[in-house]
Amino acid sequence: MFFRLISRLSMAALFVAAAFPVFSQVAPAAREGGLPLVVGVGISDFSTDFGPSSRWRMEGISAWVDYYPTQLPTFLRGLGLEFIGHDINYGRPAALPRMRQDTGEGGAIYTWRHFHNFRPYAKYVAGIGSIDFPAYGMYDHDTRSVMSPGGGAEYRVLRNIWVRGDYEYQTWGLLWGSPHHLTPNGFTIGASYDFKGAQRH
């Protein structure tokens, strides 16, 4: 799932890179400041919320694409769409040798743009989660709908490059044999490339 996600993101990045010079040659698009797109990748640290210890954590790779429509009314500026994927697949606890949690989600993101180099945001995304775990008989994999509120902030380090700190709280529902609803949650630290650059503000 992760490699399919990376392939799709790579294709999207290539498309954007190829299309960007065309947009920059058209006067109206140039005045609007470029594409309303943010693409990023990061390292995640998540609580698996699986097994007898709620303290078990794993690491993974995350990637996201944020789209901010340019034709919204003034009071809705900052509202956009986020598409994000997580592959939590590294640093398995010894007691969970098969553990892997993959998610692909999309939903709303709202970014406050009142600061020049600092952008706090809140989001609510939903999608599909895939989990592998130690077998209970023949049962060692499940796929579920996932809903995830979250938020964080980005800080500009260069004209188009922002460092992002993100928190996400996922709700997977009740898996068969589990004593509670599965709620993995964790942090992602990464970098974003904003195609609008300094002109977004």
Give the pLDDT confidence score for residue 113 in this predicted structure: 80
Class in CATH terms, 36-200? mainly beta
Q: How many alpha carbons lie under 13 Å from residue 10 in its C-beta half-sphere?
A: 6
What are the sequence ranges of the domains in the chain? Answer: 36-200
Evaluate if residue 6 carries a pLDDT over 80.
Answer: no
Residues 6+ apart with CB under 8 A from 72: 79
Q: Check if the beta carbon of residue 49 is closer than 8 Å to that of residue 182.
A: yes
Average pLDDT over residues 21-49: 71
What are the tens digits of pLDDT across the range 134-172? 887 788 999 999 999 999 999 999 999 999 999 999 999
Handedness of CA 28, 31, 32, 33 (dihedral sign): positive
Give residue 201's identity as a one-letter amino acid code. H
